[in-house]
Amino acid sequence: MEMVEEDVVIIGAGIAGLATAVALRRLGIKALVLEKSDGLRATGAALTLSPNAWLALDALGVSHKLTSVYAPAKRVFVTNLGTGATQELSYAGKSGRIGSGLRSVHRQSLLEALADELPDDTIQFSSKIAAIDSQTLNGSSAAIINLGDSTIIKAKVLIGCDGVHSMVAQWLGLSESINSGRSSVRGLAVFPHGHGLNQDIRQFVGVGFRAGFIPLNDRDVYWFLNRYSPPK
């Protein structure tokens, strides 16, 4: 049974986990990121980042990798399907300090931009957590992480970025996740010869749901449908 000692361990190589690892590295702190999948996961297809998010990415040193590829949204149209009224929000000229504005990006591109900032040995894929325990010795505490392959990692600091059913949250004794009543379907529509749409965000709202589509580039359109059903 192998025992490995690390100063900082982050569980989960999603956006939060990778961003945390990049931020720590910029402070000179090395972290090990454990991810149960065998590679970066792009579940969710795409996401829209507001100016505040771009400021954070700028601080991490990765915003330029994305702003050079993804154009800012010019306008947002929100149509109420009950009344037929459409509200227009203009983002022209509101790009902010780094000129990022409101942009939608492929989730995979964001993950790769963050991962590329890290040394090759930072992310350890196919690392399934079997259990997390605590150890206290001479007044110091540590997290003991047991992996499915019998590897044991002793960490001075453990950071949980492992999503809704977080094992780190369970270890800390936090409340279990509850059903929010919200569900989503998301995807990408690819137009090989171009979609011809403007760089606008369009949303359609009704009682208990919201749908929309957002051009990511000349070929790809991100679409979504969100529904809210109060938990019974």
User: Exposure of 205 by Cβ count < 10 A (0-12 exposed, 13-18 middle, 19+ buried)?
Assistant: middle
Give DSSP secondary structure letters for 11-70: E--SHHHHHHHHHHHHTT---EEE-SSSS---TTSEEEE-HHHHHHHHHHT-HHHHHTTS
**pLDDT, tens only, 118-177:** 999 999 999 999 999 999 988 889 999 999 888 999 999 999 999 988 999 999 999 888
pLDDT digits (tens, 9 = 90+) for 199-216: 899 999 999 999 999 999
Round to whole Å and give the CA distance between 168 and 158: 8
Q: What is the CATH number of the domain that holds 126?
A: 3.50.50.60
| Distance, CA of 10 to CA of 161 (rounded, Å) | 7
Distances from the Cα of 195 to the Cα of 101, 219, 221, angstroms? 22, 6, 8
pLDDT in tens, 24-81: 999 999 999 999 999 998 787 999 998 899 999 999 999 999 999 999 998 999 999 9
How many structural domains compose the chain?
1
Is pLDDT at 99 greater than 70 in this prediction? no
Contact 92, 72 (CB under 8 A): no
| Cα 168 to Cα 139, 171, 194, distances in angstroms | 22, 5, 44
The range of the structural domain enclosing residue 80 comes to: 3-228
Assigned token pair, 75: 């306008």
DSSP-assigned letter for residue 149:
T
